[in-house]
Amino acid sequence: MFFIDTIDTAGLGNRSYLAGGAATAVVVDPPRDIDRVLAAAAARGVRVSHVVETHVHNDYVTGGPELARITGAAYLVPAAARVAFARTPVTDGDVVNVDDGVTLRAMATPGHTPHHTSYVLEDRGEVVAVFTGGSLLIGSVGRPDLVEPRPTERLARAQHASVRRLAAELPDETPVLPTHGFGSFCSSSRSEGGASTIGKEKAGNDALVKDVDSFVTALLAGLEDVPAYYAHMGPANAEGPAPVDLTAPRTADAADIAERLAAGEWVVDLRNRIAFAEGHVAGSFNFEADGQLATYLAWLIPWGKPVTLLAESPEQLATAQRELARVGIDRPAAAATGTVQDWLPDGHAPRSFPRATFADLAAQHPGPDVVLDVRRDSERATGWIAGSVHIPIHHLHRRLADVPAGRVWVHCAGGMRAAIAASLLDAAGRDVVAVDASFDTATDAGLPVTTGADA
């Protein structure tokens, strides 16, 4: 009998898979921190015989080369992928034996990348699942614009054809097991749900219900900004990433933290946004450990800038370090654990700023204060507070000078990104209020929410 285990990397919106039989297994799209994969294989009592990539990833650093080296597994990578390391090239129709009666068959599914390959898992000749990587996602498809701008439309058309090939050649009951689409920015649109089948996708996936021209037009129109760190992931994966190093970083004391801030380095406070607002080291930034830490810190930080992490506990620090390593921020320059008082030189008081609700904002609106919306363009398009300034969070660190003078009430859709933005503004010396509430409550609070249609 076959098995399939999911290895979830929730912070990046990705999944990897361990699948096989009684003795041996294959790993599909392994994460950088391969100890999780090895633990899953040990729990099953199986040997990893094959490691496969659906494509050269643009959103995280793969653990494939190191996992293959440690386990002695064959490392299967699409033949057309340009990589600088030795691997077993895979082409359309190739079949590998994973375990007794369990096989994996390659299906060329270009679109997300030119070389993208899906893998069909079969047990004694019966299709039991398909690993679709960044091709067919749950209710969506992988975006086709991550390689470079020029082939985007061609890849979008290829994506349509690839998804239709999967739907035509596989039984309706086949489980669809994508790598992306659970919050990943590799998805061309928001994916809903955690499980699907070929049959379910036939009923509602745009690639399967729209003709190619309509699909491509809608897909290209919906593409938003690519996280800045993606530019570094593809080259790192093509070169062959180094093994991950999760040993503890150098310990920073209060004087060291102050020196690093003075030198222009990034000091990142991992505590929750309530604790940060109540008191923090002046000049530090707040990226919550429980939020999408890796995505937003890697998106905003100038690549290669030294970063010092401030955490409540060694456990919180270790988790954050692991998440950052997945996107190539391998070694924090330093770190400290404890409370804000531990991180401040003697005689220095913590900074703070207020938090508020949309009702609090409505009580003073309209007024002389600035309302700053840091949501993405697509979120803003559904409605915004009349008179608000719009700077998406991933642009704000470069556009602080564009924020008008005055007290700034900053909001997003739920509070996490507003907290990041508030910390950036606070570090720049601005008078800021973090609106920590769902934007869905803005209208009920009495704020004038408008759309382009209302203008």
What pLDDT, in 10s, does the model give residues 215-269?
Answer: 999 999 999 999 999 999 999 999 999 999 999 999 999 999 999 999 999 999 9
Q: What is the pLDDT of residue 189?
A: 72
> Average pLDDT, stretch 200-220?
97
What pLDDT, in 10s, does the model give residues 337-377?
Answer: 999 999 999 999 999 999 999 999 999 988 889 999 999 99
Contacts of 435 (CB under 8 A, 6+ apart): 355, 356, 357, 358, 360, 361, 409, 410, 411, 415, 418
- Is the pLDDT at 186 greater than 90? The verdict is no
Contacts of 389 (CB under 8 A, 6+ apart): 370, 371, 372, 373, 402, 403, 404
Total-model pTM: 0.94
Token code pair at residue 194: 């955690």
Token code pair at residue 180: 């992306």
Residue 198, H or E segment:
helix 198-204
Asked if 372 contacts 384 with a C-beta cutoff of 8 angstroms, the reply is: no
> Average pLDDT, stretch 166-189?
92
Q: Which residues pair with 309 in a beta bridge?
A: 268, 335
Amino acid occupying residue 69: R
- Is the pLDDT at 133 greater than 50? The verdict is yes
- Cα distance between residue 132 and residue 15, in whole Å: 11
- Cα distance between residue 15 and residue 9, in whole Å: 6
Q: Would you call 136 helix, strand, or coil by DSSP?
A: strand
Q: What is the pLDDT of residue 148?
A: 86
Between 190 and 302, the higher pLDDT residue: 302
Residue 316, H or E segment:
helix 314-325
Q: How high does pLDDT run on average in the chain?
A: 96
CA nearest neighbour of 60 among 295, 242, 248: 295
CA nearest neighbour of 9 among 31, 28, 29: 31
- Is the pLDDT at 454 greater than 60? The verdict is no
What pLDDT, in 10s, does the model give residues 37-94?
Answer: 999 999 999 999 999 999 999 999 999 999 999 999 999 999 999 999 999 999 999 9
- Cα distance between residue 175 and residue 198, in whole Å: 7
Residues in the chain: 455
- Cα distance between residue 216 and residue 439, in whole Å: 31
ω into 366 cis (within 30 of 0): yes
- Is the pLDDT at 188 greater than 80? The verdict is no
Q: What is the pLDDT of residue 455?
A: 46
Which percentage of the chain shows pLDDT scores above 70?
98
Say what angle helices 293-300 and 416-427 make with each other, to 10 degrees.
40
Contacts of 264 (CB under 8 A, 6+ apart): none
